Amino acid sequence: MTLFSAGFVQAIILGSLFLTGLGALLLIVLLAFDFKNKKVW
């Protein structure tokens, strides 16, 4: 059985948490920009 390495598993878990947090931040920043430019909807 060929297994995923510990490093790979750790990388995807840490990466997923990081990207999820980044996604939330991105949405907040994007909304701030849209508000500033009056382009929300």
36 scored as a contact of another protein (CB under 8 A): no
- Work out the end-to-end distance of the chain between its first and last CA atoms, rounded to an integer number of angstroms: 53
1 scored as a contact of another protein (CB under 8 A): yes
28 scored as a contact of another protein (CB under 8 A): yes
Query: What's the angle, vertex CA 12, arms to CA 6 and CA 16, rounded to 5?
Result: 150
Residues near 31 by beta carbon (within 8 Å), at least 6 away in sequence? 40
CB of 11 to another protein, least distance (A): 9
**Interface ranges with another protein (CB under 8 A):** 1-4, 6, 9-10, 12-21, 23-24, 26-28, 30-31, 33-34, 39-41
